Structure 1
Amino acid sequence: MKEITKAHINRADRLANMMQHQESKELVHLLRQLGLEPGDTAPKKNSKQHNHIGIWKLADQDKQQGVESAAYERDPAMADVWPMWAQNPRIEAVTQKKRIVYLGESAARGFLYDPMYTPAQVLQSILQSRFGEEEVEVVDLARTNADLTTISELAEAAVALNPDALVIFAGNNWGVGANQDAPLLATLADGLREQGVSGFRRQIETCLEADIKALVDKVDDLYGKNDIPVSWVIPEFCLQDWRDPPSNAPWLVTGRNQQWQELYAQATAAIHEAKFDRAQELANQMLVLDEENCSVTHYLLAEVYEQQGETQKRRVHLQAACDAACWDFMRSNSPRMLSVSSNTLKAEVSLNKQHVIDLPEVFSQYLNADSNACENKLPGRELFLDYCHLSSEGIKVAMAAIASHHIKLWAGETFELQPLMGKSTDISLQTESEGHFLAAIHNAHWGQSAELVEYFCEQALEKDQAIAEVMQLFMEVQTRSDLPLWMHKASEQLMEQVSPNLQRYLFNMEFKCFDKVLFDAMTSALEKRGIKAGQRLLETRLSNLQVNEQATDLLNPFFHSTAISNAQTGKGNEGGTPAYFQAYDLQNHFSFVARNDRDLLLTATLRLGVQLASELPVKLLCNGAIIAEIQAGKRWKTQTITMAAELLNEGVNQLTLSWKSELPQSEDRLKLAANALELRQVPKLFPVFGNLFQLSVRQADVASKE
């Protein structure tokens, strides 16, 4: 008989209450969680085709023949996902060479360089330099977007390739999301309901630990019994340069969100005033309130420790900021290897007598080989193109570490990294340039700093100035908000000038925004080299985006999104997303293009995001100047405001809405978020300061003005 837990009792109490109040939708979910819902309980059939290894299918003519002659060829039925894999049309089932089967995700694929330059190519070239070109091969089965389930399935299928060693370079995509089965969602919801975000996070980490242990055990069962050595490569994160876009604290179980907001404002001011001891004191108070679950608190402390020269403490908080993303189902967070994943993997692998290649340790030794022991450099842009995808230097270091292990395994010889890196495949200047160009786009679209984005633009031009025209063509086609990239006439020129790598990225890019940070960085880098890109961009923007008599909808994500993580469609859906813009920050910024010879009319329909008895003022600013103050309450209010021509820039302008923070207690909101999670909706874990139903701008009518 199943054990009756406190969670079961709580659900039963809620079930009785809902039966009384006829809340049928949530009632069905509780019945399912308690195992009381009738329905088909027959196990689902496994539809996996055992004659596949990823996109490679056992050739038809080989199915009836012996293993010695078998080969796997790319399956035309899976052609739509071929670009996510190695561009290898055929894999022999058996070879006389020593064979490493190499599994992984986009970092292992060489994202932003692939297919022109990949880690598997580099690993193979290093090994062949030692053993001979005809003596060893690396079968590249890494797949972009591979998750833990994909790795598990590939590991099982790859046994058919009879490898001499298995390498698994993965972990960035391991996590627990909202798309889970009902019992697991119920467990997560119980943690959220009873202990807030901390309880929610603990349940997520517990689930993740179990999944990783199961994967390691499965791999050991598949390969250990045949004495095939397995190496797990633990990814590193770009701690030095990457910063997740700032967010406020989630609803706190203590009900002290307002206090946290006030401390945040004071700590930020103290940082700006270089009062680092005071900032540390305030940030530590924030840490107590948010229970170490908010990345912005860790970033504040990391900045303090940087100023104080405390590199190790800085690293601890940068890693903690990285880990804090694991519970946030509301935003799209960049992939990363969480500490819980890394620690679980290392512990479990040691029990199974497999091997770990710890890239955080490898990179630390590499970066600090010639440094003062106190300096302790952190991994940054020299080894990474973004959050987790490696630069060509990072690829060489990582693959040299893997090669060193296998040379020792097979030949008993020990090599340092630098000599092996010198044996690796070189990257062309064009591929390096294009990789840095894509890195600039990718970093900008994930909300990174203007300085970092401009660095990648400058590096792209330094490697190959031919990328300059590509940059300008990209700005031209990306400036049109109403058409996808492939529909622009200028796209034909782009297609003719770029490699398959650029074509694949640019013409599959779904996120589109005003791109002020990116285009400012590109024009700055171009103009430093004497290319007058600024005027060309201004003319393109005025031609395509200038505000006219027809209203420009600033709630279109094109005008307000600055990163993938903060894009809001505002269209509403069955998953609980409302049909209006939600202000999760105290200030929201909207970009638009205008000339400065005519007044504009701004129409806003807004309300507060929390239900308060009194109204609060909302300030509206145009290019930093206050143009209106609206008293907002719990009901929608519409107001039209004139933006005088003298306040406008010729070109890009910024409208800012500044909300006032006055947050109520949070307990009910945490319960509502838990209920939403059980209904397979995204839980609303953050306070909303305001809502916008309409925000549009148009030219003022000249006749009426006169």
Structure 2
Amino acid sequence: MTNPEPISIWQPGVVDGRAVFQRPGLHPFGDHYADRLQLNPKRPGDPARICFFGESAAAGYLLARHVTPAKALQAHLRHLLPEDTPDVIDLARTNERLASLVETVKRSFQLSPDLLIIYAGNNWNLLETPELSPYFPSERGKQQMAEALLAGGLDALAELALRERLARAWRALAEIAEVARANSTPVVLVVPEVNLADWETLQPAPWLPGDGLERWYALLEDAKRSLHGGHYAAASGAALAMLDLDDGVSPTPYRLLAQARAGQGDWPAARAAAEAEVVSGHYPTMCFLGAPQASSAEQRLLRHAAQIFGFAIVDLPRLFAGDGADALPGRRLFMDYCHLTVEGVHQAAAGMAAAALEALRHGTTPDVAALIRDLPRPVISPEHLAVAELGAAIHTAHRLADFLRKDELVRHWLERALDTSSGIAQTFLEVVAARSVDLPALFTAAQQSNLASPYTLQLQHGWRYDHIDACLVQAIIDVLARRDPELAKRATQSLLERAPSSADLVEQRTLWEPLMQAYPDLLPARDRHGCAFLRAAWPRVSFAWIASGETDLTLDITARLPQRVQGRAEVFVNG
């Protein structure tokens, strides 16, 4: 091989006189790449080779390095073709973007793949059009936004963002098709599915004329009360009235409508509303940071690309729907917004195995439903699965805005982790201890203790976040109180022992819901001035302050309201 080039993080080198590609050593906190240390160019007599690409869902995320779609696919193929098992090379990575995906695909041909499998689409909304944002300094991007707003308001802006990201995705897929065709290599596209049952997209309403904004928020509270009371027709009516006010720009009414339709047992309408919720979460119109999810627009584009370019397809929305176990895909298949559970990985890998057998011409294509039923599930130790489930609770606490069911979902994953392996309760205490000090979690004694335990949390499980995590900490204490009151008492003492005597509530660390603020305020202040005040993007803002409850509490509050606005501000403590 002459002039070899790196393949993602795998660097060219020579071992025993043979050209190879080697990755840097495995990071103790995870590094978002597959754990295969060395990639060898193909030699005559080697088995067929499958190169696998994609984003964090393809990389396994919370389950990595123990269960990933690529490892599950390898195991399924070993079971189906024990004498001639293809070699699956995992080149998926977290935060993959279209440009780097195309580059990695091109360079993977140094490994002489017989098949390419690409599982991507969740990241496109958040990562592919950063210049189309009011928050970041792209002059041309802001000009495009202004032109769209003048031409057709927020609808035109949303359409601009959708059109641009789909065009970029199409160009990337066309480039992949060209290089695959030049090398006579078949391609399988995996169409992503997302968590429509549990994951909620909460965004404030945009500016509305007259008393529109006040009415929108009043309807929001009406809808929430109706849902909690089981009055689904009333909730549906309130959600539809919100959509009339905001013209469907905010995803929030669609989530309310999806829950109302589900409560009425109208599952097709619930799915349509949940899909509309995902579609309406456009990057340029976001206030709060959203979650990476492929919308029905990305799904349609991938299906169309497969048809035009002659790619095979594994359609996860249709595959998961065919399972019949869930009216809407939810926590049985997903650990959060798009990352798969062990069962989800198993089913997706079964679909990919069927597509691989057909693409590599190994006889008749097997029935995917039969493969899902008959193939062994991926194997993972109780300790590692419990870590992933705790990671799901932490990730949910960090990335899901408090709307309808956040607390219930966080507690669900905490309970699951304890059911899977009760020893993870000690890790619960380490998480609380790490959050109780005003230091990055990686610098705490609790994190060092966890690193030496069988329940080691990695960066994707939540160590990178440094706020108090009040929602998570409260859920941990509540769950432990039901299981082991003594452990709950220790967690509470850990908080009180380190409680500071004062705090500036403007600091992100003290926000009960750090996600519920303007997206740029979440970003590091390297390229902008720090904010000396909190921009409230929601009518109610909650703070987390650790105190014993046995001493006086003094609050010094300065509030700035728009001119000529009169009203009342209320302060609730433990309310």
Instruction: State the TM-score, normalizing by the size of structure 1.
Output: 0.73
Could you tell me whether the CA contact under 8 Å between 1:570 and 1:580 is conserved in 2? Answer: no
1:522–1:621 Cα change, 3 Å: closer
Choose the corresponding residue for 1:441, options 394, 413, 427: 394
Matched with 1:157 is 107
Matched with 1:582 is 535
Matched with 2:135 is none
1:604–1:464 Cα change, 3 Å: same
Which amino acid in 2 is paired with 1:334?
A
In the TM superposition, what whole-angstrom CA distance separates every residue of 1:106-136 from its partner, at most 9, and x where no partner exists? Answer: 1111111111222211101111112226531
How far 1:182 moved relative to its partner?
4.5
Could you tell me whether the CA contact under 8 Å between 2:242 and 2:253 is conserved in 1? Answer: yes
Structure 1 stretches of 4+ with a deviation exceeding 6 A read 78-82, 569-573
How far 1:185 moved relative to its partner?
4.2
For the residue of structure 1 that corresponds to 2:541, the secondary structure is strand
For the residue of structure 1 that corresponds to 2:42, the secondary structure is coil
How far 1:267 moved relative to its partner?
3.4
How far 1:486 moved relative to its partner?
2.6
For the residue of structure 2 that corresponds to 1:139, the secondary structure is strand
CA distance in 1, matches of 2:535, 2:67: 42
1:82–1:520 Cα change, 3 Å: closer
Confirm or deny that 1:284 pairs with 2:240.
yes
Matched with 1:430 is 383
CA distance in 2, matches of 1:571, 1:81: 21
Please identify, of 268-277 and 449-458, the stretch whose mean Cα deviation from structure 2 is larger. Answer: 268-277
In the TM superposition, what whole-angstrom CA distance separates every residue of 1:316-345 from its partner, at most 9, and x where no partner exists? Answer: 111111222223344321111122211122
How far 1:395 moved relative to its partner?
0.3
CA distance in 2, matches of 1:487, 1:358: 43
1:192–1:255 Cα change, 3 Å: farther
Could you tell me whether the CA contact under 8 Å between 2:354 and 2:367 is conserved in 1? Answer: yes
Matched with 2:37 is 89
Matched with 1:615 is 566
Alignment of 1:314-353 (within 5 A): 314-327=270-283, 328-353=285-310
Specify every segment of 5 or more residues in structure 1 that has no aligned partner in the other structure, as ranges. Answer: 1-48, 369-375, 625-706
Specify every segment of 5 or more residues in structure 2 that has no aligned partner in the other structure, as ranges. Answer: 133-137
Matched with 2:435 is 478
In the TM superposition, what whole-angstrom CA distance separates every residue of 1:259-303 from its partner, at most 9, and x where no partner exists? Answer: 433433443444445443333233222212211121111112112
CA distance in 1, matches of 2:523, 2:53: 39
Q: CA RMSD in A?
A: 2.7
| Higher normalized strand content (fraction of residues) | 1
CA distance in 1, matches of 2:211, 2:176: 45
Which amino acid in 2 is paired with 1:475?
V
Confirm or deny that 1:497 pairs with 2:453.
yes
Could you tell me whether the CA contact under 8 Å between 1:178 and 1:329 is conserved in 2? Answer: no
Please identify, of 86-95 and 99-108, the stretch whose mean Cα deviation from structure 2 is larger. Answer: 86-95
Matched with 1:179 is 131
For the residue of structure 2 that corresponds to 1:100, the secondary structure is strand
Could you tell me whether the CA contact under 8 Å between 1:513 and 1:557 is conserved in 2? Answer: yes
Could you tell me whether the CA contact under 8 Å between 1:72 and 1:90 is conserved in 2? Answer: yes
CA distance in 2, matches of 1:558, 1:539: 20
Alignment of 1:250-261 (within 5 A): 250-252=206-208, 256-261=212-217
Matched with 1:415 is 367
How far 1:428 moved relative to its partner?
1.7
CA distance in 1, matches of 2:303, 2:159: 19
Choose the corresponding residue for 2:423, options 454, 466, 471: 466
Larger radius of gyration: 1
Could you tell me whether the CA contact under 8 Å between 2:205 and 2:246 is conserved in 1? Answer: yes
How far 1:98 moved relative to its partner?
0.7
CA distance in 2, matches of 1:186, 1:473: 48
CA distance in 2, matches of 1:135, 1:262: 60
Could you tell me whether the CA contact under 8 Å between 2:4 and 2:110 is conserved in 1? Answer: no
How far 1:418 moved relative to its partner?
4.5
CA distance in 2, matches of 1:594, 1:161: 59
1:453–1:574 Cα change, 3 Å: same
1:254–1:229 Cα change, 3 Å: farther
Which amino acid in 1 is paired with 2:261?
Y
Q: How many residues align?
A: 554
Confirm or deny that 1:510 pairs with 2:467.
no
Matched with 1:74 is 23
Alignment of 1:47-66 (within 5 A): 51-60=5-14
Could you tell me whether the CA contact under 8 Å between 2:129 and 2:164 is conserved in 1? Answer: no
Could you tell me whether the CA contact under 8 Å between 2:387 and 2:424 is conserved in 1? Answer: yes
1:80–1:278 Cα change, 3 Å: closer
CA distance in 1, matches of 2:482, 2:24: 48
1:253–1:320 Cα change, 3 Å: farther
For the residue of structure 2 that corresponds to 1:205, the secondary structure is helix
Q: What is the percent sequence identity of the aligned residues?
A: 26
